[in-house]
Amino acid sequence: MAAATGYRAEEEYDYLFKVVLIGDSGVGKSNLLSRFARDEFSLETRSTIGVEFATKTVRVDDKLVKAQIWDTAGQERYRAITSAYYRGAVGALVVYDVTRRITFDNAERWLRELRDHTDANIVVMLVGNKADLRHLRAVPAEDARAFAEAHGTFSMETSALEATNVEGAFTEVLAQIYRVVSRNAL
C-alpha cells in the first residue's frame, strides 16, 4: 500500500552500507558518530569498551542509503580491533586529531590495517577532526592533502564540537560508495 500511495516507510532503504571509524584513541571518533547520527556532542571520553554502531539513512541521488556506522568504542587502546569489526565494511573514516601530530602520523598504520582486512575497493576518507581548535593546530591541512593523494584517497577537516563538515564527511563517503557500488565494484 505504501508504494501505491507514494509514501515510503521509515525503515525502507535501497542500500545498506557498513562504514567503520578507525584512528587513535581520543581523536573524536565517538563524537563524530554521535554528531552525525543524533546531533549530539559530549565532553567526556567514554570509558566503556566495546563495539557500537549507529545507523542513519540519507538520500544519495534518488536512492535511500542506510549507513551502519561502527565505532571501536575504545578497543583501539588495546590494539584489539578484531577482523569482525572490519568484515563487510565498504567505507571507512580514518580519523586523526589536527592538534596531535602523532595521531596523524599513525594514520598510515591505520590505513594499512584497514587494507589488510577489507576489499581493495573500500572507500576511505582521511578525517582531521577538532578543526575548531585553531590555535592548537599541529597538522597543516596541506599535509593531509598530500597524504590523501599519496594513498589514493581524499581528506576533509571536521569539528564534531561545532558540527562543521560532519554531515558532509559522512555523506561524501556514502555518495562515493554508492558510485562504486553502482559500477558493481564492491
- Positions touching ligand GDP (CB under 6 A) are 25-31, 42-43, 45-46, 129-130, 132-133, 159-161
Taking the least distance from each CB to ligand GDP, the nearer of 16 and 133 is: 133
Report in angstroms how near the CB of residue 24 gets to ligand GDP at its nearest: 7
Q: 8 vs 134, which CB is nearer to ligand GDP?
A: 134
Inter-residue contact 73 to 51 (CB < 8 Å): yes
Residue number with the smallest Cβ distance to ligand GDP: 28
Nearer to ligand GDP, 117 or 130 (CB): 130
- Measured from the CB atom, the residue of 97 and 148 that comes closer to ligand GDP is 97
Q: What is the dihedral of CA 140, 34, 94, 154, to 10 degrees?
A: -70
Rounded to a whole number of angstroms, the minimum distance from the CB of residue 178 to ligand GDP is 26
- Min. distance of Cβ 173 from ligand GDP in angstroms? 17
Shortest spacing between CB 31 and ligand GDP, in angstroms: 4
Grid coordinates representing 44? 567526556
Smallest distance from ligand GDP to CB 166, Å:
8
| Nearer CB in complex with ligand GDP: 54/133 | 133
Q: Report the relative pairing of strands 154-157 and 91-97 from DSSP bridges.
A: unpaired
